[in-house]
Amino acid sequence: MSNLRKGFSIVVLPDSQRYVEDGFRKERLHCLQKQIDWIIGNAERYNIRFVSHVGDFTHHRSSAAEREAFFECVRKLEGKIPFGFCAGNHDILLGEKAAELIAARGKTADPADYDHPEVQAIQDEAMKRLRKQPGWIGDINGGNTSAQLFETDAGTFCAVHLEYGPTDETLAWARAVLEKHAECPAFLTTHMFLTPEEPQMVTSRSSRLSTLQNNMVSPGENAGTDILEKLIAPCGNLKMVFCGHYSDECRMTIKLNGRRICAMQMDYELEQPYRGNGWLRLVTVSPNEGTLTASTYSPVFDAWRLRDKSDFTMEWL
């Protein structure tokens, strides 16, 4: 990895659920801690202007300890670098809508899986702090989906974080935000959008690990193809999409009506020994050149991941 290229950088944090997992935090939490410390320590060198998490920041949605461990780590970014996250399928606290969905599939809904006010309280407290960030636009669904503005050398950008399996109402909220701030280039972070398992690479409702599969639970039903149709296509200021969920890496350039949208997916949670090994994605945006360059680094190994899926340049104009 060479020194800073022209432009500014966004750090994308892949699924970190295994770092905070109950029973394994003692040997793995240092991966998330080192990621945050590296970001803060290198913010000036790489002109890092935003940190975005793709979701699945917990492994067990009902664990208060996992949620608290995650928010305690990222709290160090407060007052230093704007931060946003979306809820993955492991993070969404299940309520009546999810119970109805389970019942409709002919499965029994265990009451122990639903309604954890003590866990939601931890996220509510974290959201109170996040809402104080400069440029905060708003959030819905208990903070699972949110939007904010942040400043760069190239002007004001908009960041939208969209939860796993968003409902039509949630997509309409995100679209309204992007349309209101249509003058700002924007990126979208959502938990599930791309997968290397599909020929078209964009997830559908029938994809493995998608919203309607029997082992997945969400009150929403929209998958990647729906997000593309209902949100990305009509919002011309969206330039980039970041996602995780599938344990692999892939990327694609989406071409719509003369537009180029750069989309990339990354999730390293199956990699041993630490189930993720601290890999993070540094995305350097060069507006004058119309490109973004992705580099993947692990502060745990102090190493750059030098392979085509992890280190590449894409055109975004």
Q: What is the pLDDT of residues 158-187, one digit of tens each?
A: 999 999 999 999 999 999 999 999 999 999
C-alpha separations of 14 from 1, 52, 180, 189, 296 in Å:
19, 9, 29, 11, 11
Over residues 53-69, mean pLDDT: 96
Do 11 and 41 touch, CB atoms closer than 8 A? no
| pLDDT band at residue 4 using 50, 70 and 90 as cut-offs | very low
Domain boundaries of the chain, sorted by first residue? 8-315
H-helix segments, the chain: 25-41, 64-74, 96-104, 117-130, 168-180, 224-227
Beta-strand ranges (E) seen in the chain are 8-13, 48-53, 83-85, 136-140, 145-152, 155-162, 186-190, 238-243, 249-256, 259-266, 280-286, 291-298, 303-304, 312-315
Give the mean model confidence (pLDDT) for residues 175-200: 97
The predicted model gives 218-235 an average pLDDT of 93
Question: What mean pLDDT is predicted for residues 270-275?
Answer: 98
Query: For residue 99, is pLDDT > 90?
Result: no
Residue 97's Cβ-side half-sphere holds a number of Cα atoms within 13 Å equal to 11
Band of the pLDDT at 101, cuts 50, 70, 90?
Answer: confident
* pTM of the shown model: 0.95
Name the average pLDDT for the chain: 93
Position 274 scores a pLDDT of 98
The pLDDT of residue 257 is above 80? yes
- Is beta strand 303-304 parallel, antiparallel or unpaired with respect to 186-190? unpaired
Q: Determine the average pLDDT of the residues in 39-57.
A: 98
In this prediction, residue 219 carries a pLDDT of 74
Overall average pLDDT of the 19-37 stretch? 98
Say how many residues make up the chain.
Answer: 317
pLDDT of residue 286: 93
How confident is the model at residue 13, as a pLDDT? 99
SS3 211: coil
245: pLDDT strictly greater than 50? yes
- In the chain, the percentage of residues whose pLDDT exceeds 70 is 95
149, 161 contact by CB (below 8 A) = no
Please give the pLDDT value at position 254.
97
Question: In which order are the strands placed within the sheet that holds 186-190?
Answer: 136-140, 145-152, 155-162, 186-190, 238-243, 259-266, 249-256
Task: Measure the CA–CA gap between 291 and 5, rounded to whole angstroms.
Answer: 11
**Percentage with pLDDT > 90 across the chain:** 83
Q: Does residue 231 contact residue 169 with C-beta atoms inside 8 Å? A: no
What's the CATH architecture for 8-315? 4-Layer Sandwich (3.60)
Phi-psi region of 108 (alpha: psi -120 to 50; beta: other; left: phi over 0): beta
What pLDDT was estimated at residue 93?
87
Local confidence band at 218 (pLDDT 50, 70, 90 cut-offs): confident
